[in-house]
Amino acid sequence: GAAELGPYRHYMQKEIFEQPRVIGDTLEGVTGIMPELFGDGAYHVFKQIDRVLILACGTSYYSGLTAKYWIESVAKVPVNVEIASEYRYRDSVPHPNTLVVTISQSGETADTLAALKHARSLGMEHTLTICNVATSAMVRECKLAYITRAGVEVGVASTKAFTTQLAALFLLTLSLAQVNGHLSDEQEAEHLKAMRHLPVAIAAVLALEPQIIAWADDFARKENALFLGRGMHYPIALEGALKLKEISYIHAEAYPAGELKHGPLALVTEEMPVVTIAPNDALIEKLKSNMQEVRARGGQLYVFADVDSRITSGEGVHVIRLPEHYGLLSPILHVVSLQLLAYHSALARGTDVDKPRNLAKSVTVE
C-alpha cells in the first residue's frame, strides 16, 4: 500500500533506494574472511574443490557471470556459469571436485532446483547456494549457504537482490582466495574496508538520479538500445539491458564492447542510443576506441564514467560521472545507475513498472 511505499512511486524505486541498507545488512557481522561464512564444513569443501560451476536464471545468472570474473582473477579457480534450463538438459562432462553454486533470490526457481539435482545426479556433491530466502527449497537442498539480506523484493524486476548477491559472491571469491593462499592479511583488510564503505558509495550513485531522469526522457522515445561493457562490467551491461527491456519494453541488447565490429555496429545509427559502462579501469583506452567506432556511425553515446575517467561530453556524447572508481566492487555501483535508467525510462513511458506484462516474480514451473 501507499504507506509502505513512503516517498516512492513504485516498489522498484523503493527497492533501488534500499540498496545501501540491504548491502550493509548482508555484510553485517562479517568481521573477517573465512570459509565458515558459508556454513560448517566449508573449509573442508573449499580445500577439496578445484573448479566452480554456477547455475542460475535471469538476473541471478548475471550475478554469476560477474562472479566468474572475480573468482578467476582473485582466487585463481576456474569457473563455468550456466543457465539452469540449459544445463539440466544438456550432456556435460561432470567433475567430482566441483563446487556447485546456485544463485537464486527466491530459492524456488524450478529450473535452478532441477539443475542442482542434475549436477548431484552426475556425482557432484559439493553444493552451495547464494539465496535470499532462508526457508526455501534451495537452502534445504544445498550443503552450504549464504543468505543475502535483501528483504522481501516486490518488484518483478530484481534490483536489491542482485546487488546483495554480488556482495555475497565477493565474500565467496575472497574465501576461496584465502583457502588457496591468494589473500594476504593486508589484502583481506583492504577488501573489508571497501565492502564496509559500499553503502556510502551506493548512496552517492543514487544521488545521480536527477541526471539520469534527464536521460530517461530521451530513452523513452526510442525503440532500441545497445549496452556496452568490458570485462567484469560486461555482465553489468547484460543486466542493464535486461532491466530496460523487462520494464520499459524497449528492445535492448548488451555486447562486450570488443564484439562491436562483429555485428552490432551494423545496427548503429543516429536513432540508436548506446549506453556505455566506462569505469576507469585497465580497459578504458580500449573502450574509448569502441566509443569512437559508435560515434563515427552517428550513434548517440550515453556514458556512465567514473569521476576520474578522461571522457568529456560533446556532440553525441552524454556523460554521467560516478563519484569514485571502486576497483573490483565497481560492478555493484555501476549497476545501480542502470537500474535507475531503466526505472525512469519505464516511468516516462507509463508502463506497469512493478508488474511488467507476461513476467512473474518467481518462476516455479518450467
Active site residue ranges: 361
Candidates 49, 57, 228, 287: give the one binding ligand G6P (CB under 6 A).
Answer: 57
Which residue in the set 19, 66, 98, 105 belongs to the binding site for ligand G6P (CB under 6 A)?
Answer: 105
59 binds ligand G6P (CB under 6 A): yes
Under the binding rule (CB under 6 A), the answer on residue 159 touching ligand G6P is no
Give, as ranges, the residues between 334 and 363 that touch ligand G6P (CB under 6 A). 359, 361-363
Neighbours of 261 (CB within 10 A): 11
By beta-carbon proximity to ligand G6P, the closer residue of 158 and 173 is: 158
CA distance 333 to 331: 5
How many chain residues bind ligand G6P (CB under 6 A)?
Answer: 15
Q: Give the shortest CB-204-to-ligand G6P separation in angstroms.
A: 26
d(CA 20, CA 206) in angstroms, rounded, equals 9
The CB-of-155 to ligand G6P minimum distance in angstroms stands at 8
Do strands 300-306 and 144-147 pair parallel, antiparallel, or not at all (unpaired)? unpaired
The stretch among 8-16, 32-40, 103-111, 214-222 that binds ligand G6P (CB under 6 A) is: 103-111
Assess 276 for contact with ligand G6P (CB under 6 A).
Answer: no
Nearest-approach distance from CB 151 to ligand G6P, in angstroms? 14
> Where does this chain bind ligand G6P (CB under 6 A)?
57-60, 104-106, 109, 112, 156, 158, 359, 361-363
